[in-house]
């Protein structure tokens, strides 16, 4: 069965459920994270100790970690200061370009790469366009404003469809 572009492989409560053991079991060698609302809320510039040690642990267990964000250069640079991961700002997701660049740089094939994000229409779709696996986590903070509410309402049928596939 062909995978639906907007249905993730897995939906989790948060990133910490993705462990080195899990990545090993799934044979993931490269992991790409969205930043905003996946790793930290929009207003938080830096990773705290818990997140830093988690990312370092993950980084030790794979070949490469990437940060792929639609946010601006400052935001991504500041966050990545402590890590020096492969990072792309203004990635233009759902364009798969930045994920493909990550794969190319690290010589990874599609089935070795996992994208982790919080939004179906940007993160999951970008992963699908790149042909890589996708995990969607619950956004760290509820977004306000009509645009985000509208986007979330569009996601609902796909989240329901995901839950149906997991029940069967
Ligand atoms: Mg996000």
CATH number at residue 93: 3.40.50.1000
| 42 occurs within a structural domain | yes
Which residues make up the environment of ion ligand 1, defined by Cβ < 5 Å? 34, 36-37, 118
Sequence length of the chain is 168
Q: How far is the CA of 60 from the centre of ligand 1 (A)?
A: 24
| 73 occurs within a structural domain | yes
In the chain, where does DSSP find H-type helix? 20-25, 49-61, 73-80, 97-106, 125-130, 146-167
| 4 occurs within a structural domain | no
pLDDT digits 0-9 by tens, 109-122: 999 999 999 999 99
Q: How far is the CA of 166 from the centre of ligand 1 (A)?
A: 23
Domain interval for residue 140: 10-167
Q: How far is the CA of 68 from the centre of ligand 1 (A)?
A: 10
| 144 occurs within a structural domain | yes
| 5 occurs within a structural domain | no
Q: How many domains does the chain have?
A: 1
The mean-pLDDT minimum among 122-126, 136-140, 157-161 falls in: 157-161
Q: How far is the CA of 36 from the centre of ligand 1 (A)?
A: 4
Going by C-alpha positions, the residue among 15, 40, 37 that lies closest to residue 152 is 37
| 3 occurs within a structural domain | no
Instruction: Give the pLDDT band of residue 6 (cuts 50, 70, 90).
Output: confident
Structure confidence at residue 71 (pLDDT) = 97
| 59 occurs within a structural domain | yes
pLDDT digits 0-9 by tens, 59-81: 999 999 999 999 999 999 999 99
Residues 150, 7, 126, 1: is their CA dihedral positive or negative?
Answer: negative
pLDDT digits 0-9 by tens, 27-50: 999 999 999 999 999 999 999 999
How many other C-beta atoms are found inside a 10 Å radius of the C-beta of residue 13?
8
Q: How far is the CA of 164 from the centre of ligand 1 (A)?
A: 24
């Amino acid at each position: 069965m062909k995978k639906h572009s907007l249905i993730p492989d897995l939906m989790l409560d948060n990133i910490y459920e993705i462990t080195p053991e899990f990545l090993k079991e799934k044979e993931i060698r490269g992991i790409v994270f969205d930043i905003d609302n996946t790793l930290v809320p929009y207003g938080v510039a830096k990773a705290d100790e818990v997140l830093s040690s988690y990312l370092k642990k993950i980084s030790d267990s794979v070949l490469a970690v990437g940060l792929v964000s639609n946010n601006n250069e400052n935001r991504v640079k500041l966050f990545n200061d402590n890590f020096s991961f492969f990072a792309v700002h203004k990635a233009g997701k759902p364009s798969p370009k930045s994920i493909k660049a990550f794969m190319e740089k690290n010589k990874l094939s599609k089935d070795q790469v996992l994208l982790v994000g919080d939004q179906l229409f940007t993160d999951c779709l970008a992963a699908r366009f790149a042909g890589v696996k996708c995990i969607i986590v619950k956004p760290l903070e509820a977004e306000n404003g009509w645009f985000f509410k509208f986007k979330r309402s569009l996601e609902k049928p796909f989240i329901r469809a995901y839950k149906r596939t997991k029940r069967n």
